[in-house]
Amino acid sequence: MDSIDLIKKLSDVEGISGFEDNVLEVIKDEMKNFYNIEKDSMNNLYINNILPEERKKPVIMLEAHSDEVGFMIQSIEGNGLLKFIPIGGWSSQQVQAHKVKIQNSEGKYINGIISSVPPHFLKNDGKTEIKDMFIDIGAFSYEEVKEIYKIEIGAPVIPNVVCEYNEISKLFLGKAFDDRIGCAIITEVMKDIKNENLNVDVVGVISSQEEVGLRGAIVSSQKALPNVAIVLEGPPADDTFRNKYTSQGGIGKGVQIRHIDPTMIANPRLVKFIKDIAKKYNIKYQETVRESGGTNAGKIHLENLGIPTIVLGVPVRYAHSHHNFVSLNDYQETVKLVKALIKELNENIIKNF
């Protein structure tokens, strides 16, 4: 499989929370010749889901979320500017003057920019909150927006970015690596293990609406009901503002193993097993203890009377902004680790978690 093309394709595709359909179509197209695929009304996607009564082996769930942070049109001004709200977590300093695209009522994308005040007119510190920003599509009236551009209230707004890959640095520069990088890992791993003789069954789950409250995972984990869950994430990198001793999310430092965040304490026996496997297979990894943030693991580990769950991450520089960096090397190390875990897990090991 061409990992580079897959990652670029998933980065470029549009899919803010609640509007993940295009992302799912990419994944379905990649997986259609390999597994049965199901989708529910929450826009969760299930790859090789196995009904509880048909299971003969423990089930490992590989989980990632399809949605990206973006915006939604709230109202249309008389002068043609568009009022919007954030979907997911944004900092106002990362929003102004960036290109976006708005999906209109015909499914077409209209380009625009998030308005900014020229420096000539700025006063005081010049800071603007998101609630005071607008999107400018080059229209001059309410009627023009509605009748010509066919943009309606509730329209999804996506960062307008095309993913690039640098052969020298082996870095991708694009959008939405939180969490399209996790989606790519699941897609690649599920293909690679298709004909493996394993002691476990593997289900791939692509959950919706993580960025607005871990909502899809509440439903998807109840349907998948795994014995172990591996959550694949694109967590924020910290190596641009922390030193080599305190950084726990460095680009090029390998897969990130998460011990804790405010939503979950990782099962310590599972953590030890994963670190032992990483060492056995000579896989580069780093560890993190997070004071903030959260993932779908926060909901997943509480289902099915408690599911041993781990978050494995590929660090993303400048997550939750228009432009992110992510490392192909870190991606490949994570794929290797996930495949090694699947190969090594069995019923007896899982019982001891």
pLDDT single digits (tens) 159-184: 999 999 999 999 999 999 999 999 99
- Is the same domain home to 55 and 112? no
Verify that 306 and 194 share a domain, yes or no. yes
Domain boundary among 132, 159, 186: 159
Q: Is residue 164, in this structure, part of any structural domain at all?
A: no
- Residues with pLDDT less than 50, the chain: none
SS3 labels along 161-175? CCCEEECCCCEEEEC
What CATH number does the domain containing 191 carry?
3.40.630.10
In terms of domains, do 341 and 275 share one? yes
| Nearest by Cα to 15 from 173, 231, 179, 205 | 179
Structural domain harbouring 154: 70-159
The pLDDT of residue 127: 78
pLDDT in the model for residue 134 = 96
Distances (CA, A) of 266 to 91, 124, 164, 301, 307: 28, 46, 34, 9, 10
Tally of structural domains, the chain: 2
**What is the chain's mean pLDDT, rounded?**
95
- The whole-number pLDDT of residue 295 equals 97
Same domain, 107 and 217: no
pTM above 0.85, yes or no: yes
Largest pairwise CA distance in the chain: 69
Domain boundary residue among 159, 183, 211?
159
In a domain, 166, yes or no: no
Q: What CATH number corresponds to the domain at position 84?
A: 2.40.30.40
Q: What is the pLDDT of residues 313-328, one digit of tens each?
A: 999 999 999 999 999 9
- The answer to the question of residue 165 being in a domain is no
Residue corresponding to tokens 């953590």: 271
* 12-45 burial: b if 16+ Cβ within 10 Å, else e: bbbbbbbbbeebbebbeebbeebbebeeeebbbb
Is 170 domain-assigned? no
Same-domain status, 193 and 283 = yes
- Same domain membership, residue 241 and residue 213: yes
Q: Looking at the structure, tell me whether residues 341 and 202 fall in a common domain.
A: yes
**pLDDT given at position 1:** 61
Residue 234 domain-assigned (yes or no): yes
Residues 134, 48 within the same domain: no
Determine, yes or no, domain membership for 114: yes
Residues with catalytic roles: 210
Confidence (pLDDT) at 118 = 74
CA distances from 72 to 11, 15, 143, 155, 156 (A): 19, 12, 19, 6, 5
Whole-number Å distance between alpha carbons of 107 and 41: 20
Domain end, chosen from 159, 187, 204, is at 159
Residue 62, domain member (yes or no): yes
pLDDT at 116: 74
Residue 126 is predicted with a pLDDT of 67
Residues 130 and 29 in one domain: no
Clarify whether residues 106 and 196 are in a common domain.
no
Half-sphere exposure of 14 (CA within 13 A, CB side): 16
Cβ 208 vs Cβ 43: under 8 Å: yes
Evaluate whether residue 168 is within a structural domain: no
Secondary structure element (H or E) that encloses residue 344, with its range? helix 328-344
Q: Nearest-CA neighbor of 315 among 244, 262, 250?
A: 250
Taking alpha carbons only, the member of 347, 310, 329 closest to residue 167 is 329
Whether 107 and 13 map to the same domain: the answer is no
Exposed, middle or buried by CB within 10 Å (0-12, 13-18, 19+), for 216? Answer: buried
Strand 59-65 to strand 228-233: parallel, antiparallel, or no bridges (unpaired)? parallel
Task: Examine the domain organization and report whether 284 and 201 are in the same domain.
Answer: yes
